[in-house]
Structure 1
Amino acid sequence: MTASDAEWKETDVPPPPAFAESRAIAIDVQGRTELKFSIDPATIAITKDGVVRYVVVASSGRGGATNAYYEGVRCSTEEVKTYARFNDGKWDETVNAEWKPYRQIRSGYVRQLTYQGLCRGHGTQVSVQETVQMLRKPVREVE
């Protein structure tokens, strides 16, 4: 942790934004999962504190229940925080939400989101528009 990390303070978090599955961009989640993940581009916000906030939608490949998560990513520290969960038609705020390293989270969709466009290395994209463009057509690294 650097001195600037110790002094970092998150800006106030607005309530979860409205989302629509119809405009969501699919996330290429590598690995085996029956869930389909997507992100609603209208919910993406890049804040002055370096957090990218968004709503990600998780749905069963066979239809059925839709869940969503209102989250924030800190590209600089590779962390994620879940502010609220959408289930049964309503948002439930996460009590005592904490930043967690997204490399240690079992579900890989956050890591894929950061690689596919939410982050530019350890920084954010220049604008929401650039972020959406990257999510629609992610650049793949050549190994």
Structure 2
Amino acid sequence: MRLLPALLLCLPLAAHAAWIDIEHDFSDDKPWSEVAAKLPPYPKDANLLPFNVSSATSNRFFVDADSISVGADQVVRYTVVVKAAGGATNVSYEGIRCETGERRLYAYGHPDGTWSKARNAGWEPIRMRSLLSYRKALYEDHFCPGGITVRDAKQAVNSLRRGAR
């Protein structure tokens, strides 16, 4: 009879050990790998969605709605168009990885509607302290609210249409 109380004391420990194994079975042991990014068609003015970065800049910022995608690798890819007050326009195809707060430049757009792939463009941290960082604004307000990746392009487009929260 003294054996029964000792066994009952061990049951919670055995159950806990089994739970740990179950958690291990469901954990993601595979390292993250990026899927190949495919360049989108060059943006059209009719598809550009404006977004706010900061009152500290006179530049205007847009995302091409048709270019937004959320890959199987959980990278939000998009074309951004920056129109400077002086008339210059910069176009680039980029990605944001919400899980790590990183960004990547894939290609630069040219006025003739062509792309040039970016050289040596790896993943870099988003500058979260800069008031002028459009990537920070996209990360915080539209593509990664609360650090969570948007489900799909439709959710990202809806967020841009609503404006920053």
- TM-score normalised to structure 1 length: 0.84
Percent of aligned positions that are identical: 33
Greater fraction of residues in helix: 2
1:50 and 1:123 in contact (8 A); partners too: no
Q: How does 1:121-140 map to 2 (within 5 A)?
A: 121-138=146-163, 140=165
Question: What residue number does 1:45 align with?
Answer: 69
Greater fraction of residues in strand: 1
Q: Sort the Cα spacing of 1:139 and 1:112 in 2 relative to 1 into closer, same or farther, 3 A.
A: closer
Aligned length: 137
Task: Please give the per-residue CA displacement for 1:118-140, whole angstroms capped at 9, x wherever unaligned.
Answer: 11322211221111111111452
Q: Which moved more, 1:106-115 or 1:41-50?
A: 106-115
- Aligned letter for 1:116? D
CA distance in structure 2 between the aligned counterparts of 1:125 and 1:10, rounded to whole angstroms: 17
How far did 1:87 drift?
A: 2.9
Q: Sort the Cα spacing of 1:128 and 1:20 in 2 relative to 1 into closer, same or farther, 3 A.
A: same
Q: How does 1:27-106 map to 2 (within 5 A)?
A: 27-62=51-86, 64-89=87-112, 90-103=114-127
1:16 and 1:91 in contact (8 A); partners too: no
- TM-score normalised to structure 2 length: 0.73
* Structure ID, larger Rg: 2
- Aligned letter for 2:136? R
Q: Sort the Cα spacing of 1:95 and 1:4 in 2 relative to 1 into closer, same or farther, 3 A.
A: farther
How far did 1:53 drift?
A: 0.2
- What value does the CA root-mean-square deviation take over the aligned residues? 2.3
1:16 and 1:84 in contact (8 A); partners too: no
Q: Which moved more, 1:44-53 or 1:23-32?
A: 23-32
* Gap regions ≥5 residues in structure 2: 1-26
